[in-house]
């Protein structure tokens, strides 16, 4: 009397399909995160370049700009530079978080690939055994 592997085969086929769907969703998330990270990095770079010009702007407005007006202007430029620097730092922290999430999703996708590979090998074994039983 031979063993019927059809329930194992069916179960593994469903598991592989589920893992494949989950992996596809994770890969989509990775793609979206990478695209958005690229956009954020581009904006951060533009703002960083703009920040570098603030001192040049401040120095250009020097000759006829003296007294309290000069002090007020310098103070406002300093506050603006501080706010922009804070935004740049916060944005870099967000980029770092995105990188961590991408790494986590990449590991999950890799684990699912390994699981699918193992399940597929087991499935092939069960199919082989089922075919041997049917002979």
Residue 75 CB coordination number (10 Å): 10
pTM of this structure: 0.82
The domain tally of the chain equals: 1
- Per-residue confidence at 134, pLDDT binned at 50, 70, 90? confident
Task: Please name the residues in contact with 50: beta carbons below 8 A apart, sequence gap of 6 or more.
Answer: 84
Return the structure tokens found at 100.
Answer: 């961590």
Q: At 86, which CATH number?
A: 1.10.287
Residue 79: domain span: 5-134
Lowest mean pLDDT among 5-14, 45-54, 97-106: 45-54
- What pLDDT digit, counting tens, does each position of 57-112 carry? 777 766 677 778 888 888 888 999 999 999 999 999 999 999 999 999 999 999 99
Return the structure tokens found at 76.
Answer: 């406002």
Higher-scoring residue by pLDDT: 39, 60: 39
């Amino acid at each position: 009397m031979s063993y019927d592997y059809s329930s194992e085969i069916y179960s593994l086929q469903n598991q592989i399909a589920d893992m494949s769907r989950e992996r596809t969703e994770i890969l989509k998330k990775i793609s979206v995160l990478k695209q958005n990270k690229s956009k954020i990095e581009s904006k951060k770079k533009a703002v960083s370049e703009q920040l570098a010009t603030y001192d040049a702007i401040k120095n250009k407005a020097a000759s006829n700009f003296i007294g309290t007006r000069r002090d007020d202007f310098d103070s406002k430029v300093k506050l603006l530079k501080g706010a922009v620097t804070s935004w740049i730092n916060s944005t870099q922290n967000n980029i770092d978080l995105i990188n961590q999430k991408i790494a986590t999703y990449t590991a999950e996708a890799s684990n699912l690939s390994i699981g699918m590979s193992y399940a597929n090998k087991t499935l092939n074994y069960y199919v082989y055994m089922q075919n041997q039983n049917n002979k």
